[in-house]
Chain A
Amino acid sequence: MKTSLKSLCAAMILAATFGAARAADKIDIATDATFPPFESIDSNGKLIGYDVELMEAVCAAAKLDCNIFNAAWDGMIPGLIDGKYDALISQLTVTEKRRQVIAFSDIYDHPIFRFVAKKGSSFEFTPEGLKGKTIAVQTGTPMDAYVTSHIPGAVIKRYDTGSAPYLELTAGRADLHMSYQAQIIHSFLKSEAGKDYELVGPEYTGKDAKEFGEGVAIAINKKNTKLVEEVNKGLAIIRENGQLKALNAKYFGE
């Protein structure tokens, strides 16, 4: 009895060790799949979205063996710094603060940031006008940074995922939510839940405030300069051969 218990334990530990080990030479790329149309999980559990397709195209063009998977937003950048992941693609905006700790590929898109609110509501988009209003954002995003430093009088509610703020908006717990314009349209306004809501206020870009960054890029571990070069090569190829243009057309009709 004693020996069988021992061998069972040994077998469990062995299985756990080997089961947990990842394929060694693949490039591990994490994404926070709560952000359609950029990255999300479809009903079959498969990763889909603009960023996912773009990354697959870059890997194919640069002949990289990539493994793209879903990861929690709050551990992504620390995980990249620690070498748990090789790269991240998750509509990451390039900011000065992030450049200090991680490397970025060339910028592949310039997002527009907007507020969304219930149809018919009116706001004055100044720090004074938004005083006391409840604004929902995803923690640690450019939107969070912007609202925190430019609208100090607002009540800011922060969430771990990109989807939770919409639940709060429809529940009436938040007056406004700020996010990427394309994400607001595709994941909320086009759905049944978002039919009574609309984009409000001005269009914000990196030119309006430094918090919105220079654009979005693929994040790569600072030490891995070789991977930065390879990813940039891949990006250049898909820009050249029209794949990026086709992808933009498919998702945003541009």
Chain B
Amino acid sequence: MNWGIIAENLGLYVQGAKLTLLLAFASLAISFCLAVPLAFLRNSRIAALRYAVLGYTLVFRGTPLLVQLFLIYFGLAQFELVRESVIWPWLSSPLVCVLIAFVLNSTAYSTEIFAGGLRHIPIGEIEAARAFGMSAFAQARRILIPAMLTRSLPLYGNEMIMMLHATSLASTVTLLETTGVARMITLNYYIQFEPYVTAAAIYLAMTFVLVSAFQLVQWRWAGYLENRIG
């Protein structure tokens, strides 16, 4: 065992963990804001809108995230048109490419989770809202969105954990997040167990905090659903 090497490179791990958190939270925050309206469109009465969103979620849930990331990072760069366009300064940055891939992917999964939650709201809650004379917007804001989110919580919690772990793919396009740091140490010091165990411990700690926070959220906002069981 060679833990001295890990101790020497602890600073790198701190940098890596910061980047992991930045990637996970930025992509989750953006994809959450996109997924809520998309969930409504996914259940829209207009078939064209419904199928457009379905097409998008099908493509991004039907292909591996790594493939999506490579297509965006390496694939787009192959086209002269893209390289000479005004968006190239953005697309040439690995951080931007990674965020685009993560957001597109996570939005697809979150949209389906929320859309499922929306479909499972008891009709009585919606009828009650209508009986109160709420406008469509007030219904969405005060009844549908809260009910949809609370019902989606357990599934969405899983999606958050999956996204946190998926950030390890960023290391394939030169970003030195937690996994990237572990791989770099492996390549420079020829040890594998210690760097990856350290990386695993970091992910585990982050997941633990995330799960605990989630339980708190669930207890606070979705508590009223609990009573129905048993």
Contacts and interface: CB of A to CB of B under 8 A. Distances in A.
A82 B78 CA distance: 40
A159 interface: yes
A173 interface: yes
A139 B183 contact: yes
B9 interface: no
B192 A75 contact: yes
A173 B172 contact: no
Contact of A171 (B78, B186, B188): B78
A139 B184 contact: yes
B174 interface: yes
A74 B187 contact: yes
A157 interface: yes
Contacts of A160: 172, 183
Nearest to A173: B92
B132 interface: no
Contacts of A173: 77, 92
B74 A101 contact: no
B78 A74 contact: no
A81 interface: yes
B191 interface: yes
A98 to B, nearest CB: 8
Nearest to B92: A173
A78 B77 contact: no
Contacts of A157: 174
A219 to B, nearest CB: 11
B224 interface: no
B188 A78 contact: no
Interface in A124-177: 139-140, 157-160, 164, 167, 170-173
B90 interface: no
Contacts of B83: 171-172
Contacts of A75: 186, 192
A145 B89 CA distance: 29
A7 B60 CA distance: 37
Interface of A: 73-75, 77-78, 81-82, 98, 101-102, 139-140, 157-160, 164, 167, 170-173
Q: Which 5 A-B pairs have the closest CB atoms?
A: A140-B187, A171-B77, A78-B192, A77-B190, A139-B187
